[in-house]
Structure 1
Amino acid sequence: MHLAIGDSFGEMKGASFFYVIMFSLATGCFLTILSTIFINKINKFIVFGFIIFITLLFEVQLIYFRSFRDFFKWSTIGLANDVTDFWREALYRIINNWFQVILFLIPLIVYAIWGQKRAPALGTPLRVKVILLVLSILFHLTGVAAVALDEEADFYYRKTFSVSRSMGYFGVMTTTRLDIKYLMFGPPSDDDLPDVIDKDTVDNPFSIDSSSSDTTKGTPGSSDGTDTDDSNTSDAETTPEPVEYGDNVLDIDFDSLIENESSATIKEMHEYFKSLKPTKKNKYTGLFKGKNLIYMTLEGFSYKAVSKELFPTLYMMMNEGFVFENFYTSLWGGSTATGEYTSMTGLFYNSANCLKMSANIYLPFALGNVFNSLNYTTYAFHNHDYTYYGRNLSHPNMGYRYIAVGNGLDDMTYYWPRSDREMAEKTIDYYIDKTPFHVYYMTVSGHANYTFAGNAMAKRHRAEVEHLNYSDNVKAYIACQLEVEYMLEYLVQKLDEAGILDDTVFVMSTDHYPYALADEDLAQLYGLDVNGIHGNFDLFRNGCVIWSSSMKEPVHIKKPASSLDIIPTVLNLFGVDYDSRLLMGTDVNSDTDPVVILNCDSGYAEWNWINSYGSYNTSTKKFTPAEGVTVNEDTLKDYIAYMNSVVAKKRKFSFRILENNYYSYVFPKGLY
């Protein structure tokens, strides 16, 4: 039993079929040897144990994949208690995938009824065991040799490890072996990643049609990557001299840090960050200095749910503040935890353990720590279990007084999921009269299941969405997200009554798109072709809110942006001194070339990138130019290699910041 799991949980393509067969035969021969060592009675238990383990492994991966569009990783075994909180979703997935669940149970059922009578006995000749051992080794070596001839497969087998990509290439059993191996002995070394190619040595393969009216892919070469509704222009002779803005950079003596560092890993990190060019300050630097900040991560949110009719407050915020025309939310692996980690730190990681891990490192640019240093009142609120994903550890380390269910927010009405609006009502008195304040909210009303029976908030608001021309599941999804609208409506009303609405900034993004919706429902909501939808970059487009009622006109962000860019953008808008080289995203209002790192669902391309010139899919090796961009094919290959090296280094060093507590080496006495 050895399956390669793709989007259809069973799809094998090309050479992957051969790899799976070879590694399966090797595993089968080896397990047969282990099950014939002892007396017959013990052998029966061993075989039974193997079959139970393998069956459970496949069943868990199936339900986990159907729930989170990702695969279970052994490194997250410590979060098992958290996952059991969502037993309703698991039960729903089991029922909806009953045929595959039963299919995976067949070997166990067959063995339990008939197989024990034919279990391997001690009498298996030694020569047979030797033959099986030799065959196991030969099959394994054949598989390894075949993988080595495939550059991409070899990359995921030996040079890096991605559970989702490994599943597609090698199947469940081999991926499990590799996962446990790297968990016990550490991940494969990333020291052989190519150096970042000097951009100055790469010819620009693009030319821009200046007459193009397209604004959906950004404006390469623009002064600040933004636009406003102000149509006033000045005559050439009265055009003022360009303003020279300084860099968003701190006084860090990297040369001294490099000279005095004994760790090769940390020294390499110092050298990398020293080599980066900082982003510049701009006309929006300090725009919100001194204002209050309400920062929200919206559970499973999609901008496609928002309409002026049903979401008037959120619609206003999305269209009258900083208007993001090309915003993306990547999947990093690990569902909500990794998305929230990115939104809160400006970094990314590939395991749901990231929040819990972050409790043990110094995070100077986490907004709670930043605003604490500015004598703000800081709180973080969540309307679910306070220990979930280790938030009780991570959020205080990010500078927040953390209050959630089980930790101060126990008087909320119990529903599944709980009400976002009610969370706002129960928490606003903590801070509304303690200006300046910064509060963080993690919502939960938008959590799966997206059915009227499985989501209490969807059921509550069913009448409001019944007229929509969508399936019931999409209607239920939009209905449960209405809690965000009513939460915002309430907060705006209370802030206005207190006379501090103009002095408050709202910032909102999501942890991930609503991947719990079925493919057909996603296609309907997004207006996309259902075939290959999980590899379609447009599925990962989303909304981002940066809004204050004090803004006189909207600011349109045309360049591509992502969740990684929120922290540096907010720091710049609030006039906070920070070092832009030490974060993975960039201030969207700067003149720095944008780059969006985009991971699609498990089984599809990872580490894709999007910039003002177009997008690149690492699986298909295809570059798609933006509208109005002409490509010189002769120099495109070198440019793609350059961009791939940029993304690879960001991945390497973002992971290392978390794994090595890097900021504590840069600021040994603390930044604030």
Structure 2
Amino acid sequence: MKVTKKIRKQLVSNIDVLIFFFSILFFDYYFRSQLAFTTTNSRLIFVNIFIGLFLSSFLFLLGKKTRLVIGSLILLILSLLCFCQNLHYNYFTTFFSFSKASILKEFFQVKNEATGKITLDLSTYFIPVILFILSNCIKGKQIKYKPIIKISSFVFISILSTVCLILTFSNYPNASKKSESDAYLYETLYNKVRAVERLGLYSYTIKDAQLTLSNKVSNADEEKALIDLYIEEHGYTSETNEYTGLFKGKNLILILCESLSNIVVDEDLTPTLYMMQSQGINFNNHYAPVYQSATADSEFISLMSQIPSIENGPLAYDFYENTFPNALPQLFREIGYSANSFHSFKKEFYNRETLHYTYGFTYLYDWLDLNLEKRPEFVEAYNWIHDRELFTKAIDATNENASEPFFDFFISVSGHVPYVRERYELEYDLWQTIVLHGEAGEKYSTEALCYLAAQKTLDTGLEALIEKLRNTGQLENTVIALYGDHYPYGLTKSATKELFTNLKNDYEIYRVPFIIWTPELTESTTIEKVTSTYDIMPTLCNLFDINLDGHLITGRDALSQKDGLVIFEDHSWLNDRAYFNATKGSVIKLDPSITDQEINEINDQVFEEIQISQSILTTDYFSDSK
């Protein structure tokens, strides 16, 4: 009885430490359950136990009040870590890295984007903090142990757990192929989702902090020599076809369409988009992979046809001083075009102004330069300038300040979240959308209706653009190419399910429009082969007779006979024959005849191309070509 009573007294005195320990285990378990990751990985369970023991042994040294403060702070940090990473995954289907800290200011400018992804179940992460505080406050007087007992217990447990963790981190399974090696995955975190799923959130966070803080020392000359060899072997080779030079000498307007998806192209809802798709060159199986800076990276991919930063921080902040001599605006300027970009938001957002000048644009016009109208009730990053205003003012600026032929790059923004009725700029387009689909609750929710209306503003803008070009006599001599920058990841899960009802596979959410149109086209052309944002630049170069031979191009001319390949941030890929999910290690064979050997060869190709592209950025490879 005395022994039992003593044990019970010890447990009550340290109930807060016990709750603290099990909270460490709970965080990871609940986090993995939320994301549908496996919760039975024995290695992860042991890692969590060792981390819990190490932190709990430290708390054992402290008095009651100090224990309350330190323990609450640690648990709050861990609950915020899980909460934020869960929210980030819900939004971007990947995890945040400390290397992305430079982009946080963008998030706080458009923080309303994430509110729709916050659900009640995420508040569960904060329950352990509350339980720990309550247990510490109501447990009564804490037993005081002799210093030698506390210190020896701490030293023993901390050394034991630290040694076990070091042995775990240094003994991940290796493999001859890097893409199959957990050891390489841990050392580089090249695939964030795979790293969290296989190694655990705690291991990922510790290693991510280490990689971000460490200065990676590399042999730039050696890396550049490898890039030279890669380009020599894989350099772009142009193929002349019936479309080569078709638009030579014409003006080009390239439009990045915010969150545009194929589901909105409809004869009634978006008649101008529908007309352009029906009468122009329509790439019917086009995909827009999403990288860490979303729209900014889509700009880079469409203008450079190269893979953006994956292993380091955002390209817009970590590599804006690099040299990009092969960017589309620079290539057009070399053949006598003017090249300017136009955006209806602030030019400093995403460090866009500096980056666009690096690409070769002469000037980036933003909402101040274009004197775009904003009502008194305008709320920044909640309301957005109507695309009609951007497109028409951009043509005025072009005709006033540039000579023909011209290359204009429009970055639309009307299609941006939030998808709410309070956005006054959606008023007319929302009314027309409701006429077609009924009020909220009849067919679609308010959010879904507002998304459709936000995309209808793009269509209204395109209608105004075509009319403007017709009135200025430039329409016949102008080509309009437009593409979706990414799928509408700002939608809540419920609205996504409402709108995307025919998805057979997860990757199909990335399917977006890519259309090239001009009145000169006498018959429509539909390209059914898989294409991606990477193919935009080489396709346009072929149409305007710009030679890319010898350049390092990730994409290909989508009007040629070359096979397309979509490369995703996590090293997954899609072509006409298969989809390989690198995170899950699963394959969907679209063509039953494709062999496992062919799939492995493409895996190796994608892995090597991503590594080379990262080296190009970190070494500023093209600076030698100045």
TM-score normalised by the shorter chain: which range applies? 0.7 to 0.9
Q: Aligned partners of 1:617 and 1:381: how far apart in 2?
A: 36
Q: Deviation at 1:558?
A: 2.8
| Distance in 2, Cα, partners of 1:280 & 1:152 | 38
Residue in 1 that maps onto 2:287: 328
| C-alpha displacement of 1:323 | 1.5
1:293 partner SS: strand
- Note if 1:417 corresponds to 2:383: yes
What corresponds to 1:107 in structure 2? 128
- Give the 3 Å change call, closer, same or farther, for CA 620–24 of structure 1 in structure 2: closer
CA distance in 2, matches of 1:121, 1:269: 64
Q: Which moved more, 1:578-587 or 1:173-182?
A: 578-587
Match 1:126 to one of 142, 146, 151: 151
TM-align CA RMSD: 3.0
Deviation at 1:572, TM superposition (A): 1.5
The answer to whether 1:164 aligns with 2:193 is yes
Residue number in structure 2 paired with 1:174:
203
Quote the residue 1:287 is aligned against: 246
- The reply to whether residue 317 of structure 1 matches residue 286 of structure 2 is no
Q: 1:591 maps to which residue?
A: 561
Tell me what 1:517 maps to: 491
Q: For residue 46 of structure 1, what is the aligned residue in structure 2?
A: 70
| Cα distance between partner residues in 1 of 2:174 and 2:229 | 34
Q: Distance in 2 between matches of 1:438 and 1:497?
A: 19
Cα 1:644–1:445, aligned 2, differ >3 Å: closer, same or farther?
A: same
User: Unaligned regions of 5+ residues in structure 2, if any?
Assistant: 1-23, 438-442
User: What TM-score, normalized by structure 1, do the two folds share?
Assistant: 0.78
The answer to whether the 8 A contact 2:444-2:498 is kept is yes
1:76-475 counterparts in 2 under 5 A? Answer: 76-94=100-118, 97-101=119-123, 103-115=124-136, 123=147, 125-141=150-166, 143-144=168-169, 147-148=172-173, 151=180, 153-158=182-187, 160-185=189-214, 263-276=221-234, 278-349=237-308, 350=310, 353-400=314-361, 401-405=363-367, 409=371, 411-413=373-375, 414-415=378-379, 416-418=382-384, 419-432=386-399, 434-453=403-422, 455-466=423-434, 467-468=436-437, 469-475=443-449
Report the Cα offset of residue 142 of structure 1.
6.2
SS at match of 1:579: coil
Equivalent position of 1:222 in the other structure: none
Whole-Å separation in 1 of the counterparts to 2:89 and 2:182: 22
Which residue is equivalent to 1:194? none
Residue in 1 that maps onto 2:601: 642
Q: Deviation of residue 338 (structure 1)? A: 2.3
| Higher deviation after alignment, 572-581 or 285-294 | 572-581
Say whether 1:11 aligns with 2:36.
yes
In structure 2, relative to structure 1, the CA distance for the partners of 1:393 and 1:407 (3 Å cut) is farther
Unaligned runs of 5+ in 1: 190-260, 600-605
Tell me the distance in 1 between the aligned counterparts of 2:102 and 2:477. Answer: 42
The answer to which of 77-86 and 261-270 deviates more is 261-270
The answer (yes or no) to whether the contact 2:50–2:162 under 8 Å persists in 1 is yes
Q: Equivalents in 2 of 1:641, 1:175: separation in Å?
A: 26
Residue 612 of structure 1 aligns with which residue?
Answer: 576
More displaced, 51-60 or 390-399? 51-60
The percent identity for this pair of structures is: 24
Aligned residue in 1 for 2:16: none
Return the alpha-carbon distance in structure 1 between the equivalents of residues 37 and 156 of structure 2: 29
Match of 1:62 among 65, 86, 93: 86
C-alpha contact 1:417 1:444 (8 A) present in aligned 2 = no
Q: Are residues 162 and 483 of structure 1, via their aligned partners in 2, closer, same or farther at CA, if it must alter by over 3 Å? A: same
Q: Residues 372 and 389 of structure 2 are in contact (CA less than 8 Å); yes or no, is this contact kept in structure 1?
A: no
Q: C-alpha separation between the residues in 2 aligned to 1:262 and 1:148?
A: 29
Per-residue CA distance 1:542-585 (angstroms, 9 max, x = gap): 21011111122223323211000101111121111323541111
1:420-569 equivalences under 5 Å are 420-432=387-399, 434-453=403-422, 455-466=423-434, 467-468=436-437, 469-528=443-502, 536-569=506-539
Measured after TM superposition, the shift of residue 42 of structure 1 is: 5.2
The match for 1:221 is none
Q: Which residue does the alignment assign to 1:572?
A: 542
In the aligned structure 1, how far is the partner of 2:404 from the partner of 2:456? 28
Distance in 2 separating the partners of 1:4 and 1:300: 33
Deviation at 1:490, TM superposition (A): 0.8
Select the structure that is richer in helix.
Answer: 2
1:67 touches 1:89 (CA, 8 Å); kept in 2? no
Give the stretch that moved more between structures: 494-503 or 319-328: 319-328
Measure, in 2, the Cα distance between the counterparts of 1:5 and 1:474.
30
- Contact preservation (8 Å) 2:304, 2:537: yes
**Could you tell which deviates more after superposition, 263-272 or 147-156?**
147-156
Is the CA contact 1:341–1:355 (under 8 Å) kept in the aligned structure 2? no
Cα contact 2:195–2:204 (8 A) shared by 1:
yes
Note the C-alpha offset of 1:8: 6.6
Deviations, residues 313-361 of structure 1 (Å, cap 9, x unaligned): 1112222221212211112233323223212221122367112334211
Letter of the 1:432 counterpart: N
Deviation per CA, 1:410-432: give whole Å up to 9, x if none. 64443523122222233321113
Structure 1 residue 43: Cα displacement: 5.2
Q: CA deviation at 1:395?
A: 1.1
Note closer, same or farther for the CA distance 1:580–1:614 as it changes in structure 2 (3 Å cut): farther
Aligned pairs for 1:643-662 within 5 A: 643-662=602-621
Quickly say closer, same or farther: Cα 1:10–1:543, change in 2 above 3 A: closer
Q: How many Å separate the matches in 2 of 1:353 and 1:262?
A: 20
**2:447 partner amino acid:** N
Give per-residue Cα distances to partners, 1:56-103, cap 9 Å, x unaligned. 222322333333333222111122221111232334433xx13322x1
**CA deviation vs aligned residue, 1:516-555 (integer Å, no higher than 9, x gap):** 22334333323236xxx7x622222221011111122223
* Stretch deviating more after TM superposition (161-170 or 497-506): 161-170
TM-score, length basis structure 2:
0.84
Instruction: State the Cα distance separating 1:642 from its structure 2 match.
Output: 1.2
Measured after TM superposition, the shift of residue 10 of structure 1 is 4.1
CA distance in 1, matches of 2:605, 2:300: 21
State the alpha-carbon separation in 1 of the partners of residues 220 and 205 from structure 2. Answer: 35
- Give the distance between the partners of 2:398 and 2:455, measured in 1 at CA: 25
Aligned-partner Cα distance in 1 for 2:353–2:192 = 28
